[in-house]
Amino acid sequence: MTADLLVPRWADWPLCQAAPTGTPGCIGAQLDQDQPCFVHSHSDARAAELGRLWGGSGWLGFLLGIEVTEELLAEVFAAVPIRDGRTVLRFADFRGARFQGTAGFDRAIFEGGAWFDRATFQGDAGFSGARFQRVAEAFRHRDVRFGRASFHGKVRFDEATFQGNSEFRAATFHRDASFAGARFEGTTRFDRAVFQGDAGFRTASFHGGGGFARASFHGKAWFEQARFQGATGFGEARFQGTTRFDEASFQGDADFRTTSFQDKASFDGASFYGRAWFDQATFQGDADFRTASFQDEARFDQVSGTIHR
Ligand SMILES: [Zn+2]
């Protein structure tokens, strides 16, 4: 097998390729045409790149496919503006990056989009209180993307604000992930995401529609007092642990068709203002809808298991 075959097809940027003989080439992005990546460049080139981060147009676009150590992240944070004690990052492109140690982005402000597609977080990932600002429609890199990212440590997005669209499609959370009080203002996609630990979405709000279709929750899933304002899709999702939607409110249609709840499922005081579809859902534990309210059509056709309504 040649080294070329080991380069993943999704690494579609000009590759650094620096590598000792016989090992796969580095998939870091070239700093400049025919130049190695940030890590494999000389210190002058690295300093010049970091220097460009300060000032107006500094895009964080040189860390694709790179091994990001805590030291490297600290160097980057020291080179970007700080506003009210918060790190300000412009368009941040971390596609395919591999974070070693803790990735500490708590309270950071992302002024452009933030792309973390297929990034790997080996340690904890902290995005608590981070603000992902909305960017003009014309801006090509505007969304927040964590598609197929893989989180091996604890993940915290508590009270984070996503002003534009955000997507976590097929992301894998190997340990607990908390999005408590997070505010998703655009469309939000967690379709096919895998939560191997607990998933915490207490008091989170979804303003532009939320998608968790075919997501799987292996631990507990907390959605108490979550607010879903657009259409919400949990179709074919799998909840293996205790699941709580107590006092959650669904302003748009809520789709739970073919969803399976393998442990206790509680919808105490949940409010459904749009249509609520639970057709062909499976409830293996206790399913409590006794104090849930349905303002529109509520369908529970061909449900298996026992539901208290
Ligand atoms: Zn390299």
> Is residue 178 situated within a structural domain?
no
pLDDT of residue 48 exceeding 50, the answer is: yes
Measured between alpha carbons, how far apart are the two ends of the chain, in Å?
A: 60
> Is residue 23 situated within a structural domain?
yes
pLDDT of residue 3 exceeding 80, the answer is: no
> Is residue 39 situated within a structural domain?
yes
Specify which residues 89 forms β-bridges with: 110
**Ligand 1 geometric centre to CA of 28 (Å):** 5
What average pLDDT does the chain have? 93
What's the pLDDT at 1? 43
Average pLDDT (208-226) is 97
Average pLDDT (291-300) is 97
**Ligand 1 geometric centre to CA of 16 (Å):** 5
**Ligand 1 geometric centre to CA of 121 (Å):** 19
Q: What is the pLDDT of residues 151-176, one digit of tens each?
A: 999 999 999 999 999 999 999 999 99
> Is residue 292 situated within a structural domain?
no
What's the pLDDT at 278? 97
**Ligand 1 geometric centre to CA of 142 (Å):** 26
Percentage above 90 pLDDT, the chain: 81
Q: 3-class SS at 23?
A: coil
Total-model pTM = 0.94
Number of domains forming the structure of the chain: 1
**Angle at CA of residue 107, ends 86 and 119, nearest 5°:** 115
> Is residue 28 situated within a structural domain?
yes
Residues with CB under 5 A from ligand 1 (ion): 16, 18, 26, 28, 36-37, 40
Position 216 confidence tier, pLDDT thresholds 50, 70, 90: very high
Burial of 243 (C-beta count, 10 Å sphere; 0-12/13-18/19+)? buried
**Ligand 1 geometric centre to CA of 232 (Å):** 42
Position 2 confidence tier, pLDDT thresholds 50, 70, 90: very low
**Ligand 1 geometric centre to CA of 106 (Å):** 28
Closest CA to 87 of 138, 131, 42, 118: 131
Q: Which domain holds residue 45?
A: 1-51
Number of Cβ within 10 Å of residue 14's Cβ equals 16
Q: What is the pLDDT of residues 82-113, one digit of tens each?
A: 999 999 998 899 999 999 999 999 999 998 88
Q: Are strands 109-110 and 86-89 parallel, antiparallel or unpaired?
A: parallel
What's the pLDDT at 85? 93
> Is residue 17 situated within a structural domain?
yes
